[in-house]
Amino acid sequence: MATPEAPLREILKSISFTQLPLRHIEPFFEPEPIAAPRLYIYDGGAQGKGELPTHDVECLRVLALLRFARYDFDIAHAAEPNGSPDGRLPYLLLPDGTALASGEIAAHLEREGCALPECTLAGELAYRTMVERNLAPAVEYMAWLDPAGFGAVGDARYLGGYPALVRRLLGWIRAGQVAAAVRAGMAERGTAIDGEILTENALRALDSLLGLVGSSDFLAGCPSLLDAHAAACINALLEAPPSFPLRSALTRPDSKYKPLVDYARRILDTHIAA
């Protein structure tokens, strides 16, 4: 079945823009010479302490992972994912020109002797799966399918560097991709995307994570893949528009999730935005 990208590629080739979305024309990747490993993440964030350097959950997750591992690297912001080896951000570029996709970075850390410590949390993999299936889709839904969220995050943070027409086209394509992914995770709902069910699933995940907050700075008792992903999702949700239900649940004055918010902000201050 034809995808939106196919006709758009031909249309966009025939139109002259000052900043053309290159991923709809030809993929490209030209590693630049670097002296130290460099992590490429989506632009659109802030540079100050306590502020998100990017609003993309996967970029935040990988950034936290590298910081947890005390890996020596630089950060570069990018707006065009097609400039990466696989058309996605983030990726880690090594001085020898090797580019690692986000899914390859944990194995690289192990090879470099920078693996995260063994954690004793029972069921950590189950918690990570829960975050991946219930929290991360809620962030994507907020950024691309929720009207207010798209205006504040999807359009403003991801697509702000493109002309208005291109932003609308890219937003439409990305919304379709996110909708397909969310529907795949809610197969029992058929073709409908039920925002209330999505919110309920995310709240149940937050309830489970809340039970892990304790005396340690980390949910798993030590720096972990779970902490990297959970903190990334929660911090991204805290940047959602005030009208988004999950942000409201996290930030209202009597919120039971305050310990979880404090945990996520602590990870942001000490690792992600350090």
> What's the half-sphere exposure (Cβ side, CA atoms, 13 Å) at 22?
15
Residue after which a domain boundary falls, among 59, 80, 111: 111
User: Are residues 140 and 106 part of one domain?
Assistant: no
User: Are residues 132 and 55 part of one domain?
Assistant: no
Lowest pLDDT segment from 11-15, 88-92, 215-219: 11-15
pLDDT of res. 174: 86
User: Are residues 34 and 72 part of one domain?
Assistant: yes
User: Are residues 132 and 268 part of one domain?
Assistant: yes
Q: What is the mean pLDDT of residues 82-87?
A: 78
Q: What is the band of 26 on the pLDDT scale with cuts at 50, 70, 90?
A: low
Task: Output Rg (C-alpha) for the chain, integer angstroms.
Answer: 19
pLDDT of res. 20: 44
User: Are residues 149 and 64 part of one domain?
Assistant: no
User: Are residues 203 and 84 part of one domain?
Assistant: no
User: Are residues 128 and 247 part of one domain?
Assistant: yes
pLDDT of res. 23: 47
User: Are residues 223 and 134 part of one domain?
Assistant: yes
Lowest pLDDT segment from 86-90, 118-122, 253-257: 118-122
pLDDT of res. 9: 52
pTM: 0.85
The span from the CA of 159 to the CA of 167, in Å, is 6
Going by C-alpha positions, the residue among 206, 223, 211 that lies closest to residue 136 is 206
User: Are residues 165 and 239 part of one domain?
Assistant: yes
At 208-246, the pLDDT tens digits run: 999 999 888 899 989 999 999 999 999 999 999 999 999
Q: What is the band of 79 on the pLDDT scale with cuts at 50, 70, 90?
A: confident
> What is the extent of the structural domain holding 19?
11-111
Strongest mean pLDDT among 6-10, 160-164, 177-181, 215-219: 215-219
At 160-171, the pLDDT tens digits run: 777 888 888 888
- Could you tell me if 185 and 198 are in contact, meaning their C-beta atoms sit under 8 angstroms apart? no
Going by C-alpha positions, the residue among 242, 253, 47 that lies closest to residue 153 is 242
Residue 83 has pLDDT above 80, yes or no: no
Domain presence at residue 88: yes
Tell me the pLDDT of the chain averaged across its residues: 84
Domain presence at residue 249: yes
Is the previous residue joined to 90 through a cis bond, with omega within 30 degrees of 0?
A: yes
Residue after which a domain boundary falls, among 48, 76, 111: 111
